[in-house]
């Protein structure tokens, strides 16, 4: 199963644990594939660097190295129209469309508000775990 992780989910999984960490763990164990674009990865790096200054004990570089090698990379075109009220969300939607990924995992209210756009499901981490990861284990 291919998924796209919004930056808040990726960063939360690395720095704080909880459901986002469970999703990253499922990815590391080969239960899901993470799809990335250069623009998404750049945002992961930028936010990681900002948080690394606050949380010096967390080594984000190993996660970034791992995702660089083990993600599915896509270079999507820009969307012809804005779908979300937040222009920063467009990179996730364009990546999903270009890669034919049907799930974006996010806690961002603006991104969640456009769930269903072109059959892309945008769901919170806890819902993804409950509806997709736990079902897979059964």
What string of DSSP letters covers 65-85? HHHHHHSEE--PPPPSS--SS
pLDDT in tens, 118-129: 999 999 999 999
Q: Which residues pair with 121 in a beta bridge?
A: 103
CATH at 47 = 3.40.50.1010
Q: Give backbone dihedrals phi and psi of 40, rounded to 5 degrees, phi first.
A: -65, -45
Residue 138 has pLDDT above 60, yes or no: no
Q: Hey, what are 17's tokens? A: 């644990």
Instruction: Tell me the whole-structure pTM to 2 decimals.
Output: 0.93
* Beta strand extents in the chain (DSSP E only): 2-5, 33-36, 72-73, 103-105, 121-123
Overall domain count for the chain: 1
Distance of CA 25 to the CA centre of its chain: 13
Q: How far is CA 23 from the centre of its chain?
A: 10
Give per-residue pLDDT as tens, 32-84: 999 999 999 999 999 998 888 888 777 788 889 999 999 999 999 988 888 99
Provide the domain limits for residue 39: 2-137
Beta bridge partners of 40: none
């Amino acid at each position: 199963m291919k998924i796209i992780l919004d930056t808040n989910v990726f960063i939360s999984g690395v720095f704080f644990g909880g459901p986002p960490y469970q999703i990253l763990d499922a990815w590391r164990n080969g239960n899901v594939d993470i799809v990335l674009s250069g623009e998404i990865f750049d945002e992961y790096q930028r936010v990681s660097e900002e948080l690394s200054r606050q949380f010096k004990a967390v080594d984000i570089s190993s996660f970034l190295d791992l995702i660089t090698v083990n993600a599915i990379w896509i270079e999507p075109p820009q969307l012809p129209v804005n779908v979300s009220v937040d222009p920063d969300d467009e990179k996730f939607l364009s990546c999903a469309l270009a890669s034919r990924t049907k799930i974006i995992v996010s806690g961002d209210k603006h991104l969640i508000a456009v769930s269903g756009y072109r059959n892309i499901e945008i769901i919170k981490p806890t819902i993804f775990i409950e509806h997709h990861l736990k079902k897979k284990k059964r």
